[in-house]
């Protein structure tokens, strides 16, 4: 049934929330300029990485960029030197991974590797074809100890490429510039590879290394130039004249990919304007969120069929549609009690049995504490919810709309629980516990340590460290979720749950 939620304007909330998003937009404007090498890059006749993506995707279609704040104020590498996201090519959704050679020559920092791996994971989970626009000098050597040897380091990129191909997920690569050392394996392991004449080079060891190792003096073009690889080594398959020609070739190759094309989903707008969310999100995070009013501005026709509305009321569960996609909603409406966790577990299992995707709206300070709830077995009930979230195999999508603290993050499908996508609102915050509680605990145990700085729990800090897939404007949440859900092409898998302590 439709939710009834007329707006009571709140100028203070609106001003704070608009300021938060404007601050984020200002950062994005800076990051979108690329690195210090952009002028030299374009003087060579090369397209800027964002222009390459613009020319690659279908005209007028959207590009869902992922983690644009990666590495912000971590090191001097805008967007971590790589642009990732989902775009439409010849009517098909595809994951795009594009090196930005204007940032340290497209070399890989630790967060660059993390961002690349995340994009590959999205391709794998949603069974989406992958496009690599390669223009990279390989690993950033000053930080090699942080990105080379471990399981989720640089080598994992190539492990993933092999397994993507083994699962029949297409991968097309185009070499737009330097492709050195480990980076050479990205195009070498792709299904089909394009390289640009007199511009793209590909080798495991460049001319300086060859001279140092063997004494041989050779030019980059002789060693790993485009014509040589297309004509002699066979490492690459297609020779392009320039950037534009390479992008046209990618689009032509996509005509022969057999993954399904994107389907149109009819969606009715909510009865209430999503832009009113700016008035509804409390400026003071300690104030209660009007969760039903928020749902009324996110759901198709503002219709919500609630599950167990009189039981466990601090967790709102129910069925709805978002941009034409049928979903099950779990939305926080206060601290989680045992009844709330029990209700959430029941609802998740119900959705899994029916094959309905889950959408989590996180605003959670955690589970209730105290003698009475411990005696009632809240640890047992919370464990059931965490178990159900972990084992649910239907697609899961998480939006952090407010606080995300402690085990509440786990019970509401935080990053560790593999949501297909996780986006945050600019006002959100994430930590083991709220700052006031952390300071109180440390004071009680007479610790000389202090709670983490407040800025380490902000949405901007979270996004810079890739704890999410990006900050989004609250009023566009429907569009982001709709696009994310429309990309899912993975086959349905039955959920299997383990032992739930009764």
Strand residues in 125-245 grouped as ranges (E): 130-136, 171-179, 192-196, 238-240
Classify the C-alpha dihedral 343-349-354-355 as positive or negative: positive
Q: Look up the CATH number of domain 34-254.
A: 3.90.226.10
- Express each pLDDT in 467-494 by its tens digit: 999 999 999 999 999 999 999 988 888 9
- Express each pLDDT in 360-399 by its tens digit: 999 999 899 899 999 988 999 999 999 999 999 999 999 9
Q: Does domain 274-486 have CATH number 3.40.50.720?
A: no
* Mean pLDDT within 114-142: 95
268 in the Ramachandran plot: left (φ > 0), alpha (ψ -120 to 50) or beta? beta
pTM as predicted: 0.94
* Mean pLDDT within 294-316: 97
Total residues found in the chain within this entry: 502
Res 438: pLDDT: 57
Res 182: pLDDT: 79
Q: Name the CA radius of gyration of the chain, rounded.
A: 24
Domain 34-254 identical in fold to domain 274-486: yes
Alpha carbon distance 167, 118 (integer Å): 17
- Express each pLDDT in 396-421 by its tens digit: 999 999 999 999 999 999 999 999 99
* Mean pLDDT within 89-93: 96
Cα angle 243-246-247, degrees, rounded to a multiple of 5: 90
Choose between 163 and 265: higher pLDDT.
163
**pLDDT > 70: percent of the chain:** 96
Alpha carbon distance 326, 358 (integer Å): 9
Alpha carbon distance 359, 55 (integer Å): 33
- What's the whole-number average pLDDT of the chain? 93
Per-residue pLDDT at 446 exceeds 80: no
Q: Which of 130-144, 156-170, 266-280, 445-459 has the lowest mean pLDDT?
A: 445-459
Whether the Cβ atoms of residue 285 and residue 16 lie closer than 8 Å to each other: no
Alpha helix stretches (DSSP H) within 274-412: 277-280, 291-296, 338-354, 371-375, 378-391, 407-411
* Structure token digits, residue 54: 């613009």
Helix or strand holding residue 340 (H, E): helix 338-354
Alpha carbon distance 472, 64 (integer Å): 11
Per-residue pLDDT at 65 exceeds 70: yes
- The H helix count followed by the E strand count for the chain is 19, 14
Res 98: pLDDT: 98
- Express each pLDDT in 192-251 by its tens digit: 999 999 999 999 888 998 999 999 999 999 999 999 999 999 999 999 999 999 999 999
Confidence of residue 451 (pLDDT cuts 50, 70, 90): low
Choose between 205 and 120: higher pLDDT.
120
Domain extents for the chain?
Answer: 34-254, 274-486
The residues, ordered by sequence, that sit 6+ positions from 8 with a Cβ below 8 Å of its Cβ are 279
Confidence of residue 434 (pLDDT cuts 50, 70, 90): low
Res 454: pLDDT: 61
């Amino acid at each position: 049934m439709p939710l009834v939620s007329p707006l009571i304007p709140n100028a203070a909330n609106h001003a704070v929330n608009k300021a938060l998003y404007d601050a984020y937009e200002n950062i994005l404007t800076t990051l979108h300029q690329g690195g210090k090498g952009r002028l030299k890059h374009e003087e060579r006749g090369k397209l800027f990485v964002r222009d390459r993506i613009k020319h690659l995707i279908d005209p007028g279609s959207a590009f869902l960029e992922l983690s644009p704040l990666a590495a912000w104020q971590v090191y001097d590498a805008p967007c971590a030197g790589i642009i990732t996201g989902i775009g439409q090519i010849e009517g098909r959704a595809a994951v795009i991974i594009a090196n930005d050679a204007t940032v340290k020559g497209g070399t890989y920092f630790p967060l660059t590797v993390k961002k690349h791996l995340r994009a590959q994971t999205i391709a794998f989970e949603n069974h989406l074809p992958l496009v690599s626009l390669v223009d990279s000098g390989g690993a950033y050597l000053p930080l090699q100890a942080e990105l080379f040897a471990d399981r989720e380091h640089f080598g994992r990129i190539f492990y993933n490429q092999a397994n993507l191909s083994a699962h029949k997920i297409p991968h097309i690569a185009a070499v737009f510039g330097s492709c050195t050392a480990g980076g050479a394996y990205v195009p070498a392991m792709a299904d089909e590879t394009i390289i640009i004449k007199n511009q793209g080079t590909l080798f495991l060891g460049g001319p300086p290394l060859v001279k140092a190792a063997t004494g041989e003096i050779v030019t980059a073009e002789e060693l790993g130039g485009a014509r040589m690889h297309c004509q002699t080594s066979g490492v690459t398959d297609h020779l392009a004249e320039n950037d534009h020609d390479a992008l046209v070739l990618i689009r032509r190759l996509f005509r022969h990919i057999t993954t399904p094309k994107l389907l149109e989903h009819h969606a009715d707008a909510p009865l209430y304007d999503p832009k009113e969310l700016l008035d509804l999100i409390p400026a003071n995070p300690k104030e209660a969120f009007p969760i039903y009013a928020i749902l009324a501005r996110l759901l198709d026709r503002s219709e919500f069929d609630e599950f167990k509305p009189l039981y466990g009321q601090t967790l709102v569960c129910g069925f709805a549609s978002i941009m034409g996609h049928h979903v099950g909603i779990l939305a926080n409406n206060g601290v989680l009690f045992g009844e709330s966790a029990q209700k959430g577990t029941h609802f998740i299992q119900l959705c899994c049995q029916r094959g309905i995707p889950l959408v989590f709206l996180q605003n959670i300070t955690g589970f209730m504490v105290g003698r009475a709830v411990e005696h009632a077995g809240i640890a047992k009930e919370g464990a059931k919810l965490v178990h159900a979230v972990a084992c649910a195999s239907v697609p899961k999508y998480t939006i952090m709309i407010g606080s995300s603290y402690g085990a509440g993050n786990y019970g509401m499908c935080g990053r560790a629980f593999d949501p297909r996508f996780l986006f945050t609102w600019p006002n959100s915050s994430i930590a083991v516990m709220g700052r006031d509680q952390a300071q109180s605990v440390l004071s009680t145990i007479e610790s000389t340590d202090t709670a983490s700085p407040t800025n380490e729990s902000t949405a901007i800090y979270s996004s810079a460290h890739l704890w999410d897939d990006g900050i989004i404007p609250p009023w566009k949440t429907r569009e982001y979720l709709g696009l994310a859900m429309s990309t899912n092409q993975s086959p349905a898998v039955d959920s299997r749950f383990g032992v739930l302590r009764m």
